[in-house]
Structure 1
Amino acid sequence: MSYRLIALDVDGTLLDDQHELAPETVDTIREVAAQGAEIVLCTGRAPFGAIPLMERMGLTGYVISHNGAAIVDATTREIVLQYQMDTRSLEPYISYCKENGVHFDVNTAFGLYVDQLEGLKLEVRSMYETFLMEPLQLPRWADWSEPLVKFTAFGSMERLDEVYRDWSSWEQPFNMLRSGDFFIDLMHKQASKGEALHQLALQRGVTPDAIMAIGNYYNDLSMLAYAGKGIAMANSPEGVKLAADEVTLSNNEQGVRHALIKYCLS
């Protein structure tokens, strides 16, 4: 099968545990792209955390960012599609985080805002640096007017397990998902990696059977289900592996490269 559109998750999939991109994987991706396949990074990161990776690989095209809440042209930085959240419905979540000492940020397509910029803990600053994010000071909430696409809570796995249980008992106006062990994301109900990939495929004239998607976590399930070939990394949770068509090697073993060679270059 010749795949025309290949969606790659970034953290835990394309990158290893040190957040490094292997040169051999870059070479393979370039070879696949040279044969006509369109490579799309489909990530929980903001565009400015993913576009540098596209540029490093010598790719043009699109980035599906914020777990599907926005699609951005990697060359022009044009927002092709975004799912705007209802800011008023976020107020209970913001209050919860403030009252319980849970770090959070709110995101526009290109901006990331935190409540107390000057008082950020070292581990929080380090996290933002790892994901190539530069936080800004959140203005007074009553004055907010920009379109928001994602709300993220960050903390230890145990703490976020508690938060997830609490929020799961609420009437949920958002798509709430664990995008990593240390993150909970809230987005518009329609926003997901799978739906964004679907919208991009419609625009590009590509049917699902000509799409491959590779990911490693629960936020990747929708795109693994939508793609004709959904591949999970060996480092994925068991539920993600069971939902995929196939399991490749881990992110520390260049599983993306292994899958591309098997299905696109063999």
Structure 2
Amino acid sequence: MKYKLIALDVDGTLLNDDHSLSPENKKTVAEVTRQGARVVLCTGRNPKNAIPIMQEMGLTGYVLADNGAVTVRVEDQEVIHQYPMDGRGLDPYIEYCRHRDIHFDVNTAFELYVDNVAHLTKEAHFMYEHLQLVPASLPAWGEFREPIVKFTVFSSAEMMDEAEREWSTWIQSFNIQRSGEFFIDLMHPEASKGNALKQLAKQLGIRQQDVLSIGNYYNDISMLSFAGLGIAMDNSPVEVKAAADAITGTNNENGVSEALIKYCLS
């Protein structure tokens, strides 16, 4: 097996547009692990709804969650590494969102907080139910007992475009990532999928050239660039494809399976 560490994005990559794991992808992932590769998920998701996907594939190991802001071991859900944020630095962004009725949430490794859980919109309720997450109401910063690792905003694509443009003019205290058409994530300046993957590879004693990554969106560019072989899905934006070494099929065409067969099993 040429590649010893394989990092897979989840939504838009491993899962199809119905957010389901196809039998083809599951079978091929099982085969590359049988032949000795380590497969990890590198996702914008919270560990709580990333670990079940690892379990569905029958895998142990690691999830690099919240865009690399937190790395968790699957077997015992122990936090191996995290990049803590200063919550008080989020105050201007929260004020911006409140003024424009943009939904936001604040994440620790395993918990998620919203402005007021009793006043969630129908769209937010649907999103959290779909992601199998149960939010709580945001406490004061001094009441947090676990490090904050990610701040996420969720609204229309137009609102996200506007926020992204506006925030790019502010003094940058965070790594701001467009993680989906309707999502923007703020994290510690050093938190990224690429840095988390680099750190894990070093911990496991795996060389950069022995790492393969597959992703489909802007928040995947750092891990596509770090890996010895970075593969973009065909459903990726052009900028993501430009950062990759190769292109595979779409997430609805079992592109992950196609890439693993071509580059790992052939």
Question: Which amino acid in the other structure matches residue 209 of structure 2?
Answer: D
Q: In 1, are the aligned partners of 2:104 and 2:151 still within 8 Å (CA)?
A: yes
1 CA distance for matches of 2:153 and 2:51? 23
Aligned partner of 1:153 in structure 2 is 153
2 CA distance for matches of 1:157 and 1:11? 17
* SS of equivalent residue, structure 2 residue 236: coil
Q: Percent identity?
A: 59
Tell me if 1:239 matches 2:239.
yes
2 CA distance for matches of 1:78 and 1:141? 24
Q: TM-score, normalised by structure 2?
A: 0.98
Aligned partner of 1:136 in structure 2 is 136
Aligned partner of 1:116 in structure 2 is 116
Aligned partner of 2:9 in structure 1 is 9
Task: Go from structure 1 to structure 2 and tell me whether the alpha carbon gap of 1:48 and 1:145 turns closer, same or farther (over 3 Å shift).
Answer: closer
* Cα shift at 1:100: 1.5
* Cα shift at 1:143: 3.3
2 CA distance for matches of 1:142 and 1:97? 21
* Cα shift at 1:72: 0.2
Query: Which has the higher mean CA deviation after the structures are superposed, 131-140 or 227-236?
Result: 131-140
Tell me if 1:173 matches 2:173.
yes
Residues 204-219 of structure 1 correspond to what in structure 2 (within 5 A)? 204-219=204-219
1 CA distance for matches of 2:232 and 2:202? 24
1 CA distance for matches of 2:144 and 2:170? 24
* Cα shift at 1:24: 1.6
* SS of equivalent residue, structure 2 residue 178: strand
* Cα shift at 1:169: 1.0
* Cα shift at 1:142: 4.9
2 CA distance for matches of 1:149 and 1:42? 15
Aligned partner of 1:70 in structure 2 is 70
Q: Deviations over 1:18-69 (max 9, x none)?
A: 1011012101100110100000000000001110010010000000000000
Alpha-carbon RMSD across the aligned residues, in angstroms, is 1.0
* Cα shift at 1:141: 3.9
Query: Which has the higher mean CA deviation after the structures are superposed, 220-229 or 139-148?
Result: 139-148
* SS of equivalent residue, structure 1 residue 185: strand
* Cα shift at 1:128: 1.6
* SS of equivalent residue, structure 2 residue 230: strand
2 CA distance for matches of 1:260 and 1:222? 20
* SS of equivalent residue, structure 2 residue 97: helix
2 CA distance for matches of 1:257 and 1:145? 41
2 CA distance for matches of 1:133 and 1:15? 18
Question: Which amino acid in the other structure matches residue 244 of structure 1?
Answer: A
> How many residues are paired up?
266
Q: In 1, are the aligned partners of 2:46 and 2:66 still within 8 Å (CA)?
A: yes
2 CA distance for matches of 1:49 and 1:166? 31
* Cα shift at 1:132: 2.5
2 CA distance for matches of 1:39 and 1:136? 32
* Cα shift at 1:196: 0.2
* Cα shift at 1:165: 1.1
2 CA distance for matches of 1:132 and 1:224? 28
Question: Which amino acid in the other structure matches residue 96 of structure 1?
Answer: Y
Aligned partner of 1:96 in structure 2 is 96
2 CA distance for matches of 1:169 and 1:145? 32
